[in-house]
């Protein structure tokens, strides 16, 4: 068994480290994996496959080489690391980390706790193809690295905090001690010096804003501190806005405005810069308010009323006097109430239930109630149109009682005319639309008969059926 694993074993499929650490994983090893097998019995065919595989590898290496040239990450022309080292500067006294700046960056020196965005390619001595590169990871995009938390090679972190950023290009020569360790990580990472070609794209001093409140007031009011802190806050707000975290983005702009208010410019130029930034902050806050408003509208169109109300309220908090936001919120509230009412009616119809009638309380004796009820029954039983006028001088409670009792009889309605003691109240037996239509026809027919003098014609009265 020991002979079988004498040489390194390569897995046919990669292992996901997260899956390996968080779930149960089984490995099945075929001890005959090193034996040659020929299932098809065709050596030439297998030879062709080998050629194709070699061709694929060559294509991949060629693409990597072309990519490094395109991004200016190619290994520089030199005879040896020793010769290249003579053109470089030590970053540490031991000489384990050397740097050669190809293009000077803009801005201040990269802070030790910053977040940087870089592309890099790492080479062994006299190699043209990198053994490690950001181009083969992170879907080919530049990599974001947070410094000062131990997730970066020591030498790489030392080199990055030596240059000005962003937009710097430089090379680092790292000894194993400041790279992957004196023993390397065999078989891929050798215990040898490595050359890093690095392009720095962006620098975020992520902790400047959080440290601002801890500074003494004399430092907080300095123009340089103001500009640095505001730049960080605006950068973070932009990222948050891109991730649709609007409320946090707005908080950053509000903090930026507070920082600008504390600043004490020393001359007119600095004063103008502060004014420009203040206008920009106010403009961004206004745009964010609109963004929240539009986000609310989008959720409302999708039928997500709760989310829509949430964003409308956030927008209204920023601009309490904005009428459009207030109207949108009121309209949404009315829509929600109408929807709830419609749903309630739908379920009532589904279960054939009627809404409960509120009990009306009024001060009326039983004789009056019984008399009104008998009168309503008499009118409801008639087939033709009828009207019963009640005496004047009825009290408010008596009118309410009459209205409430007539609702229990189909076809009855209460008519009111006038105000106070002179108010006339009548109970009417309504005619149906069918009867009304026939009466209209009868009237037109009568007009025709009179117009053409059809004296002998018999007019038949139409009764309500």
Domain CATH code at residue 281: 1.25.40
Same domain, 245 and 327: yes
pLDDT of 161: 92
- Is residue 360 assigned to a domain? no
As a residue count, the chain comes to 465
Same domain, 336 and 404: no
Tens digit of pLDDT at every position of the chain (465 positions): 445 444 555 555 555 555 555 555 555 555 554 444 443 344 443 444 555 556 666 777 777 777 777 777 877 776 689 989 999 999 999 999 999 999 998 888 888 888 899 999 999 998 888 888 888 877 778 999 988 888 889 999 999 999 997 889 999 999 999 999 999 888 889 899 999 999 999 888 777 777 787 888 888 888 988 888 888 888 888 888 778 787 788 888 888 888 888 889 889 899 898 888 887 777 676 667 777 777 777 777 777 888 888 888 888 887 787 888 888 888 888 877 777 777 777 766 766 555 555 566 667 778 888 888 888 888 887 777 777 778 877 888 888 888 888 888 887 888 888 777 777 888 888 765 444 455 555 555 555 555 555 444 444 444 443
- Is residue 296 assigned to a domain? yes
Cα–Cα distance for residue pair 32/13, rounded to 1 Å: 18
Same domain, 193 and 276: no
3 state DSSP class of 201: strand
- Cα 424 versus chain centre, distance: 63
Of 382, 460, 464, 376, which Cα lies nearest the Cα of 426? 376
- Is residue 239 assigned to a domain? yes
Cα–Cα distance for residue pair 231/287, rounded to 1 Å: 18
Instruction: Among 208, 238, 261, identify where a domain stops.
Output: 208
Same domain, 391 and 463: no
Helices (H) and strands (E) in the chain, counts: 14, 10
Cα–Cα distance for residue pair 437/432, rounded to 1 Å: 9
CATH of the domain at 422: 3.30.1370.50
pLDDT of 195: 94
pLDDT of 317: 80
pLDDT of 454: 45
Instruction: Among 170, 190, 208, identify where a domain stops.
Output: 208
pLDDT of 250: 80
CATH of the domain at 139: 3.10.50.40
- Cα 426 versus chain centre, distance: 62
pLDDT of 159: 94
pLDDT of 158: 94
Same domain, 388 and 454: no
Instruction: Among 177, 208, 239, identify where a domain stops.
Output: 208
Cα–Cα distance for residue pair 331/391, rounded to 1 Å: 46
Q: Which domain range does residue 410 map to? A: 366-430
Same domain, 225 and 332: yes
pLDDT of 404: 85
Same domain, 303 and 197: no
Same domain, 86 and 198: yes
Same domain, 438 and 424: no
Same domain, 204 and 221: no
Number of domains in the chain: 4
- Is residue 34 assigned to a domain? no
Residues ≥6 apart with Cβ < 8 Å to 331: none
Same domain, 333 and 225: yes
- Is residue 116 assigned to a domain? yes
Of 334, 335, 336, 315, which Cα lies nearest the Cα of 324? 315
- In this structure, what token pair is assigned to residue 408? 């229990």
- Is residue 92 assigned to a domain? yes
- Is residue 22 assigned to a domain? no
- Is residue 46 assigned to a domain? no
pTM as predicted: 0.45
pLDDT of 53: 59
Same domain, 263 and 180: no
């Amino acid at each position: 068994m020991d002979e079988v694993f004498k040489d390194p074993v390569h897995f046919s499929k990669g292992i996901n480290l997260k899956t390996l650490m968080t779930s149960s994983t089984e490995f099945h090893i075929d001890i005959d994996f090193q034996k040659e097998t020929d299932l098809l019995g065709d050596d030439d065919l297998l030879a062709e496959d080998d050629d194709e595989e070699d061709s694929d590898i060559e294509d991949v290496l060629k693409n990597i080489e072309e990519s490094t040239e395109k991004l200016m990450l190619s290994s520089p022309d030199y005879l040896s690391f020793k010769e290249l080292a003579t053109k470089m500067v030590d970053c540490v006294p031991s000489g384990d980390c050397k740097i050669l700046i190809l293009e000077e960056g803009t801005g201040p020196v990269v802070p030790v706790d910053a977040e940087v965005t870089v592309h890099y390619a790492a080479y062994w001595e006299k190699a043209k193809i990198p053994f490690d590169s950001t181009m083969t990871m992170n879907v080919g995009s530049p990599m974001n690295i947070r410094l000062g938390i131990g997730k970066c090679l020591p030498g790489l972190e030392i080199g990055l905090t030596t240059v000005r950023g962003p937009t710097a290009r430089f090379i680092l020569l790292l000894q194993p001690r400041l790279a992957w360790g004196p023993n390397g990580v065999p078989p891929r990472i050798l215990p040898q010096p490595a050359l890093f070609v690095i392009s720095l794209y962006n620098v975020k001093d992520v902790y400047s804003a959080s440290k601002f409140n801890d500074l003494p007031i004399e430092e907080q009011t300095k123009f340089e501190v103001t500009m640095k802190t505001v730049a960080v806050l605006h950068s973070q707000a932009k990222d948050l806005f891109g991730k649709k975290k609007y409320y946090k983005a707005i908080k950053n702009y509000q903090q930026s405005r507070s920082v600008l208010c504390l600043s004490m410019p020393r001359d007119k130029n600095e004063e103008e810069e502060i004014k420009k930034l203040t206008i920009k902050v106010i403009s961004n806050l206004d745009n964010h308010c609109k963004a929240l408003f539009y986000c609310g509208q989008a959720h409302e169109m999708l039928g997500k009323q709760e989310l829509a109300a949430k964003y409308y309220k956030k927008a209204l908090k920023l601009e309490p006097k904005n009428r459009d936001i207030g109207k949108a919120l009121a309209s949404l509230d009315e829509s929600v109430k109408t929807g709830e009412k419609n749903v309630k009616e739908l379920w009532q119809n589904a279960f054939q239930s009627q809404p409960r009638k509120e009990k009306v309380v009024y001060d009326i004796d039983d004789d009056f109630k019984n008399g009104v009820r008998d009168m309503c029954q008499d009118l409801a039983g008639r087939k033709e149109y009828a009207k019963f006028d009640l005496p004047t001088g009825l009290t408010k409670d008596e009118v309410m009682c009459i209205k409430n009792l007539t609702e229990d009889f189909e076809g009855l309605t209460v008519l009111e005319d006038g105000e106070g003691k002179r108010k006339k109240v009548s109970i009417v037996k309504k005619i149906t639309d069918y009867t009304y239509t026939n009466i209209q026809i009868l009237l037109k027919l009568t007009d025709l008969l009179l117009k053409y003098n059809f004296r002998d014609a018999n007019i038949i009265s139409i009764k309500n059926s």
